[in-house]
Amino acid sequence: RHCRNLDMTLDEIRTLLRFKDHPEADCGGVNDLLDEHIGHVSQRIRELRLLERQLKALRARCTAVDDTADHCGILNELSRPDVLPVRRPDVAQGPHHVPGSHGRQPRAAAR
């Protein structure tokens, strides 16, 4: 449970459990695993900071409080074909979006 709270994958946890099952083994591999996990977390933080900047820039497209959806700067920007999304990490690395982290269900998504 502690490892999951640290956002470790099941494979990482299995590896740590193998070390735990062999207390006489050298623990250098544990340090290597943790260093690699720290690197993944650092990469995710960089990606989340980029995502935050992009979302803030998108939010800044809305200049009117009581405008209509057909004049919405956010919706218009999202509809542009030349707007590139944030680079998504390789799905094989594990989930990167924490379910329920928004605290409420999103409204209908713009397409």
Model pLDDT for residues 43-60, shown as the tens digit of each residue? 999 999 999 999 999 888
Contact between 78 and 58 under an 8 Å Cβ cutoff? The reply is yes
Does the pTM surpass 0.75? The reply is no
Q: What is the pLDDT of residue 23?
A: 92
Q: What is the pLDDT of residues 65-98, one digit of tens each?
A: 777 888 888 888 888 887 666 555 544 444 444 4
What average pLDDT does the chain have?
Answer: 79
More confident residue, 9 or 77: 9
What is the third-level CATH fold of 2-82?
A: Multidrug-efflux Transporter Regulator; Chain: A; Domain 2 (1.10.1660)
